[in-house]
Amino acid sequence: MTNRRDFLRNASLFTLGGLLAGKGSMASAATNAAPVINNAHAKKSFGLQIYSLGRELGEDVPGGLKKVAGMGYSYIELAGYRDGKIGQVSMADFKKMADDAGLVIRSTHVNPPVNAYNQSNKQQIMDFWKKTADDHAKIGVKLLIQPGQPSTRSVEETSFVGEIFNEAGKIAKAAGMSFGYHNHSGEFARVIPGGRESFVGRSIFGRNLPEGTEIIYDCMLRNTDPSLVFFETDVYWTVMGQQDPVEYMQKYKNRITVLHIKDKAVLGKSGMMNFEMIFKQAYENGIKDFFVELENVQNMSQFDGVKGCADYLNNASFVK
């Protein structure tokens, strides 16, 4: 998670020198030719978090985006924002490239420059979100999402994070956007009042945890204003946090409004994700934004993996 935070905050996503060094084996690049979009895909609606493509997209951004559209994706979620650019591409140029490919830029992932939130750096965080919201509003982005977990070692620290999210939500709302938070597995650890660390999985067994102990994710939800903060639940990381994403959607029907559709690698290959029940509950809740995210592919390019995910969704009878 820390590597992902650093990537989203600092990386120039499309530098040809090769970011995401851990994925250095990726060989295939986007071609310049725009593929023919299969009309059968038009009936389905799902998007892609472009982090999934890593450095491969940077080798030919316009052509790569056209490939993404040709796979059946209809909208995208940005990553790599810094100083008014997406990687090395100006935001205005990136939007034109997406428009030319027929892709809507619906969402973005951005982290503030600090991890531990306190009163002394609160204004720094708010100044960051003001600039970030303004930059993204110019290209019509509607969902401003933080994907990196701040320091949450106690109930009090987690509650203060909720207060900061509320303030960020006000800034986003003033810019015509909505502010949200994306989880990984760490948010399903537990914290105690006055604590100095979180407790994960079996580490809590046999412990007499005090009254007021909470799961971090639930504490975040409790301390955020529904009119200011929504939650983008990553279904895979929820499972990795030993929780059921369907149960969370049932419990927080009006708070979880966006999903990351993710598996151990290409969707449907691991056998550990019950995507049929996830989509069924999501549609019952009225969720309309679904972003595929892909990591950890082996023996294939990221583009091939992303296509495999699209094929899975296009062939799934439970996906609309």
Instruction: Please report, in tens digits, the pLDDT of each residue of the chain (320 residues total).
Output: 444 544 444 444 443 333 333 333 333 333 334 444 444 445 799 999 999 999 999 999 999 999 999 999 999 999 999 999 999 999 999 999 999 999 999 999 999 999 999 999 999 999 999 999 999 999 999 999 999 999 999 999 999 999 999 999 999 999 999 999 999 999 999 999 999 999 886 556 666 778 889 999 999 999 999 999 999 999 999 999 999 999 999 999 999 999 999 999 999 999 999 999 999 999 999 999 999 999 979 999 999 999 999 999 999 999 99
pLDDT of 199: 82
Helix axes 61-71, 302-315, angle to 10 degrees: 20
Computed on alpha carbons and rounded to an integer, the radius of gyration of the chain in Å comes to 19
pLDDT of 211: 85
Which residue's structure tokens are 């529904």? 226
- Three-state SS at 276: helix
What's the token pair of residue 263? 């598996």
Cα atoms in the 13 Å half-sphere on the side-chain side of 199: 18
**Do the beta carbons of residue 258 and residue 143 sit within 8 Å?**
yes
Element (H, E) at 129: helix 122-137
pLDDT of 82: 94
pLDDT of 210: 80
CA-angle at 145, arms to 144 and 149, nearest 5°: 150
- Three-state SS at 200: coil
Element (H, E) at 104: strand 104-109
pLDDT of 206: 61
Burial profile 112-148: b = 16 or more Cβ within 10 angstroms, e = fewer: bebeebeeebeeebbebbeebbebbbebebbbbbbbb
pLDDT of 264: 96
pLDDT of 307: 98
Cα gap 48→72, rounded to integer Å: 10
Cα gap 184→176, rounded to integer Å: 27
Q: Which residues contact 195 (CB under 8 A, 6 or more apart)?
A: 153, 154, 155
CA-angle at 309, arms to 51 and 251, nearest 5°: 80
**Alpha-carbon distance values, 245 to 48, 143, 177, 240, 273 (Å):** 19, 21, 25, 10, 10
